[in-house]
Amino acid sequence: MSLVFHILTLFPGMFESPFRWGILAKAIQEGKIRVETHDLREYGVGPHRATDDYPYGGGEGMVMKPDPLVAAIEEIRARGAKGPVILLTPQGEVFHQQMAKELASLSDLTLVCGRYEGVDERVRQGWVDQEVSIGDYILTGGELAAMVIVDAVARLVPGVLGNEDSALKDSFEGGLLKYPQYTRPAVFRGMRVPEVLLSGDHGAIARWRRRQALKRTLERRPDLLSKAELDSEDLRFLERLRSEAEG
Ligand code: ADE
């Protein structure tokens, strides 16, 4: 299993550092993922290699020209990349963990980083399979969004995380936020680690963690509960928390 990310950008230099550290650096070294940047300037038009132009109809800012984007996408395709072309834009579907999981099973992923006031609409119509936003705020371009997606997707590629089940215990896995974590010392500035975690009773620890995850999700992200995988014991516990909060 390996996944190649093809990134189309006017600023390939932005991608030099983020993947040189930690888990992703190791995954690249071991050939489990590859991150290839393609400089859109190289596909620019005319002596100045233009990649943007004024908007038809007038108005603010510049628009990314279709020709360099399509030339780059077609070259990547011609070299054998099969996966979808994703445009990073605040107008796209908001990125989430389930999307990351689906993308992690692919062999290639092409990420197009928009800049300025956006890309010519015809590129979206003819060459883009999916539009993705990383949240309801406006970045100066799609580059940081592409990095977020590479990071979230790469760690789910089989074999990238050392401990296979650490992805299974992530926040959002099963639809809940993660339980609180502690490490040594057992007492820090007078604050004790919850006794149950020192008990060695694995059943009790698992129950405590499950309940903490439920409590946290109810307090911070109640919107997640309607889609979470919950059993009857979870539902009873949530009911108790809710009635305690009311009482
Ligand atoms: N480009 C600008 N803002 C963005 C966002 N929030 N998500 C993805 N791409 C973007």
User: CA nearest 100: which of 140, 149, 54?
Assistant: 149
Give the 3-state DSSP-derived string for the chain, with helices as H, strands as E and coil as C: CCEEEEEEECCHHHHCCCCCCHHHHHHHHCCCEEEEEEEHHHHCECCCCECEECCCCCCCCCEECHHHHHHHHHHHHHCCCCCCEEEEEEEEEECCHHHHHHHCCCCEEEEEECECCCECHHHHHHHCCEEEECCCCCCCECHHHHHHHHHHHHCCCCCCCCCHHHCCCCCCHHHCCCCCCCCCCCEECCEECCHHHHCCCHHHHHHHHHHHHHHHHHHHCHHHHHHCCCCHHHHHHHHHHHHHHHC
Q: How far apart are CA 211 and CA 217, in angstroms?
A: 10
pLDDT band at 223 (very low <50, low <70, confident <90, very high): very high
Tokens of 56: 């038809």
Q: Quick one: pLDDT at residue 165? A: 58
Distance 209 CA to ligand 1 centre (A): 35
pLDDT tops 70 at residue 68: yes
User: What architecture is the 173-246 domain classified under in CATH?
Assistant: Orthogonal Bundle (1.10)
Q: What is the pLDDT of residues 127-147, one digit of tens each?
A: 999 999 999 999 999 999 999
Does 155 qualify as catalytic in the annotation?
Answer: yes
Which residue has the CA at smallest separation from atom 6 of ligand 1?
Answer: 90
pLDDT band for position 171 (50/70/90)?
A: confident
pLDDT of residue 24: 97
Residue nearest to atom 4 of ligand 1 (CA): 90
Q: Catalytic pick from 117, 121, 129, 239?
A: 117
**Centre of ligand 1 from the C-alpha of residue 89, in Å:** 4
Residues contacting residue 58 through CB under 8 Å, at least 6 positions apart: none
Confidence of residue 117 (pLDDT cuts 50, 70, 90): confident
Confidence band for 40, pLDDT divided at 50, 70 and 90: very high
User: What is the average per-residue pLDDT within 105-133?
Assistant: 96
9 lines ligand 1 (CB under 6 A): no
Check if 21 has its Cβ closer than 6 Å to any atom of ligand 1.
no
Q: Is 70 exceeded by the pLDDT of residue 164?
A: no
Q: How far apart are CA 145 and CA 25, in angstroms?
A: 19
- pTM listed for this prediction: 0.95
Contact between 214 and 228 under an 8 Å Cβ cutoff? The reply is: no
Task: Say if ligand 1 is within 6 A of residue 88 CB.
Answer: yes
Q: For this structure, is 170 an active site residue?
A: yes
- Residue boundaries of the structural domains of the chain: 3-154, 173-246
113 touches ligand 1 (CB under 6 Å): no
**The domain at 3-154 falls in which architecture?**
3-Layer(aba) Sandwich (3.40)
Percent of the chain with pLDDT over 90: 93
Phi/psi for 6 (5° steps) reads: -105, 120
Which is the closest atom of ligand 1 to the Cα of 89? 9
Q: pLDDT band for position 168 (50/70/90)? A: confident
